[in-house]
């Protein structure tokens, strides 16, 4: 049985890309990857299969054939994966499994989303469609309720929640592909317009177009593409319900706890071993919750964890050096792939102004809330150089 390794990545700058077609986004990330593979790649000969993550919000790509056309990679299996906001991570996971199965040697993983062409205003208004939307449970409301509960139950302060946005926006100013590159203070966050109490505008990730790609291969071929492959040490994926009377589900995401437990068990690493993490901060509160779900701190201690500066770029365990979803943006199909790409760069020492010194073990975390209102999926990957 072979391991899977990330051996290349490519990205198009995240942002408002009205002038880019869906194919342009896919092609852009793909070409950036092809051009950046250390030892070069002959894509038609080398790439055996493609996993392609998109919710297809602009409704242009419901099939693997979409990515084949954008890249010119025909005569290969090409699969579209959908898994709410964890779509990109699950595309990566399916590619990793196929490489491990030995049926293919080299997989292209590519995620893309045109969010701004959607008339739904997806992040703001949709998502909890079937049961709850008519009752006002939009995504900000759903996460806002978790924030108020966390504040009530653990004395988490509004300022601690805002600190996540402050940190990630500061990181984003140093990350070249981030969408919203501006710094903001705790006061700025707390004075920005209310979206759904207690979450204000700067507590919410922007609506962003983007695409990202990574290349995955097996033990035997990894050194063919680079002298510095990044090994997928372990992954976990889980699905949960919000309908069960689980107290943790009101302040946390049990699926993230299950997924990270699986990833830690498979990789042999624990939370203390993680040198750098990219985690799902669709809202500021989500990142606080995630510190606890991943075991970076105890339940209820997330506020103190950020107060102490631990997840800051110069802290003991930097989280979201890329600026996270809050600054970089959250083009859904691309999000998880871009997190993997950033950890890949961090573990190779290629992360430029957001480089975490001597990062050897990185963690990627991505959650998704099912449109049918009641389920969360969560994906965690542990990678090592």
Is the backbone of residue 116 left (phi > 0), alpha (psi -120 to 50) or beta? alpha
Catalytic residue among 85, 184, 212, 297: 85
Q: Pick from 385, 362, 373, 323: which is nearest to 142 by CA?
A: 373
What tokens were used for 381? 């990957």
Q: Which is nearer to its own copies, 238 or 286 (CB)?
A: 238
CB of 55 to its own copies, least distance (A): 6
Taking a C-beta distance cutoff of 8 angstroms, is the pair 88, 338 a contact?
Answer: yes
**Alpha-carbon distance 305 to 1, whole Å?**
39
CB of 73 to its own copies, least distance (A): 8
CB of 75 to its own copies, least distance (A): 5
**Alpha-carbon distance 163 to 61, whole Å?**
38
Cα dist from 238 to 101, 130, 131, 352, whole Å: 21, 22, 22, 33
Taking a C-beta distance cutoff of 8 angstroms, is the pair 333, 57 a contact?
Answer: no
Q: Which is nearer to its own copies, 157 or 241 (CB)?
A: 241
**Catalytic residue list contains 297:** no
**Alpha-carbon distance 383 to 385, whole Å?**
7
Q: Which is nearer to its own copies, 239 or 299 (CB)?
A: 239
Query: Helix, strand, or coil here: 234?
Result: strand
Q: Which residues contact 117 (CB under 8 A, 6 or more apart)?
A: 18, 57, 58, 209
Q: Which is nearer to its own copies, 82 or 310 (CB)?
A: 82
Q: Which is nearer to its own copies, 81 or 151 (CB)?
A: 81
> Residues in the site for its own copies, rule: CB under 8 A?
1, 49-50, 55-56, 59-66, 68-69, 73-84, 90, 93-94, 97-98, 100-103, 129-130, 237-241, 243-244, 254-255, 258, 368-372, 374-377
Q: Pick from 364, 176, 195, 157: which is nearest to 280 by CA?
A: 364
CB of 82 to its own copies, least distance (A): 4
Catalytic residue among 5, 312, 330, 365: 330
Cα dist from 185 to 44, 165, 314, 345, whole Å: 48, 8, 18, 28
CB of 371 to its own copies, least distance (A): 4
**Catalytic residue list contains 280:** no
CB of 296 to its own copies, least distance (A): 21
Q: Which is nearer to its own copies, 186 or 249 (CB)?
A: 249
Please identify every residue annotated as catalytic: 85, 330
């Amino acid at each position: 049985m072979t391991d899977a390794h990330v051996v290349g990545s490519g990205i198009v700058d995240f942002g408002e890309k009205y002038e880019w077609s869906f194919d342009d986004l896919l092609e852009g990330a793909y070409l950036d990857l092809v051009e950046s593979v250390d030892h070069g790649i002959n894509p038609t000969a080398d790439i055996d299969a493609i996993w392609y993550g998109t919710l297809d919000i602009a409704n242009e790509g419901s099939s693997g054939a979409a990515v084949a056309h954008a890249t010119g990679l025909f005569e290969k299996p090409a699969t579209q994966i959908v898994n709410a906001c964890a779509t990109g991570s699950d595309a990566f996971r399916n590619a990793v499994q196929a490489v491990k199965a030995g049926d293919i040697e080299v997989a292209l993983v590519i995620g893309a989303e045109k969010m701004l062409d959607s008339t739904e205003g997806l992040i703001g208004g949709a998502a909890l469609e079937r049961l709850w939307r008519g009752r006002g449970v939009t995504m900000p409301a759903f996460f806002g309720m978790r924030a108020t509960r966390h504040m009530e139950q653990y004395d988490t302060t509004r300022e601690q929640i805002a600190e996540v946005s402050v940190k990630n926006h500061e990181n984003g100013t140093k990350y070249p592909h981030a969408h919203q590159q501006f710094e903001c203070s705790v006061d700025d966050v707390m004075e920005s317009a209310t979206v759904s109490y207690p979450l204000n505008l700067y507590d919410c990730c922007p609506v962003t177009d983007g695409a990202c790609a990574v290349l995955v291969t097996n033990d035997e071929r990894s050194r063919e593409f680079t002298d510095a492959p990044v090994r997928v040490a372990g992954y976990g994926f889980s699905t949960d319900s919000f309908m069960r009377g689980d107290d943790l589900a009101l302040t946390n995401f049990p699926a993230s706890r299950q997924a990270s437990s699986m990833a830690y068990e498979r990789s042999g690493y624990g939370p203390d071993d993680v040198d750098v993490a990219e985690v799902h901060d669709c809202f500021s509160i989500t990142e606080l919750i995630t510190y606890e779900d991943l075991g970076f701190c105890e339940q209820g201690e997330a506020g103190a964890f950020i107060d102490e500066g631990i997840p800051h770029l110069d802290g003991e365990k930097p989280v979201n050096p890329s600026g996270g979803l809050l600054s970089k943006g959250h083009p859904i199909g691309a999000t998880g792939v871009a997190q993997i790409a950033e950890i890949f760069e961090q573990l190779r020492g290629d992360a430029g102004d957001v480089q975490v010194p001597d990062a050897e073990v990185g963690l990627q975390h991505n959650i998704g809330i099912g449109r049918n209102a009641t389920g969360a999926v969560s994906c965690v990957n542990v990678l090592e150089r």
